[in-house]
Amino acid sequence: MNLTNNDIEQLRTAFQICRVAGIDAVVVTDNQIRGVTASTKMAVISPASFSFDPEAKIGIGRIGEFEKRLNIFAGAVEGEAKLNDSNEASVITLGAGRSKVQFRCTSERLIKYPKSNEDEVVVTVTGKKTEIQQVARAVKTLGAEQLTLAVTRAGGVKFECSSPTNEAFATELEATAEFENDPQGIVHIYEGDRLATVLEAAARDAEEVTIVVGEFGSLTISIKGHTVVALPDANQEDDDE
């Protein structure tokens, strides 16, 4: 099964986003790239448009090693995947010109990955580039283990975090949240450093960052056309009217 240079470039870009999210392994199938962190609190569920058979499965269990092999070549890279009887890639041969290098794939069953994000949308939060960057800096500066997102029924959006010595940071976004249906108070808590890194990356090339909040607390964030989903550590309803 051939992988064109365009296929390889789509993988390369997706792997950059995976690195931001802290994801080390993905499964490529059904024209999607999907993976999750060891903590299962951050996932990538991203559509793609590959030239090869969408039913084929490619398990990349060592994203960093795959990237190192790509970096051997200075120009365009193409690939050839050897498929087994289960339509899974066992080895990918990457090549440019007269040079080739192999990468051994990982079985799909050995890689955890989300099939989809079925968390129904509840509210959409939008922050300016400078606001989101400030939140990310605060988390990293304070060494905050958790980042709290709170949305009031009136649509006010607040981010809060604190240092290990309980020095607090709080900020309220200028824009009000947009509810899908009836307004409700929401409070969700996330892994601080990892979410801060994702927010920082999302704000790097955009003037605004849109965060879609699901019923069970998932945050869906787009980075360069790829979808990153953050899951909460804990959640509770907010009594704020």
- pTM for the model: 0.87
**What mean pLDDT is predicted for residues 225-235?**
85
Give residue 135's Cα distance to chain centre. Answer: 18
- Nearest one of 236, 26, 60, 209 to 134, comparing CA atoms: 209
pLDDT digit string (tens) for 114-126? Answer: 988 889 999 999 9
Query: What would the pLDDT profile of 63-110 be if each residue is shown by its tens digit?
Result: 999 999 999 998 899 999 999 999 999 999 999 999 999 999 999 999
Domains of the chain (ranges, CATH numbers): 2-110 (3.10.150.10), 121-237 (3.10.150.10)
Residue 76: per-residue pLDDT: 93
- Residue 116: the pLDDT is 85
User: 22 in the Ramachandran plot: left (φ > 0), alpha (ψ -120 to 50) or beta?
Assistant: left
* Predicted confidence (pLDDT) at residue 133 exceeds the cutoff of 90: yes
pLDDT of residue 234: 58
Q: List for the chain the helix, strand, coil content (%; round to 5).
A: 25, 40, 35
* Mean local confidence (pLDDT), 194-207: 94
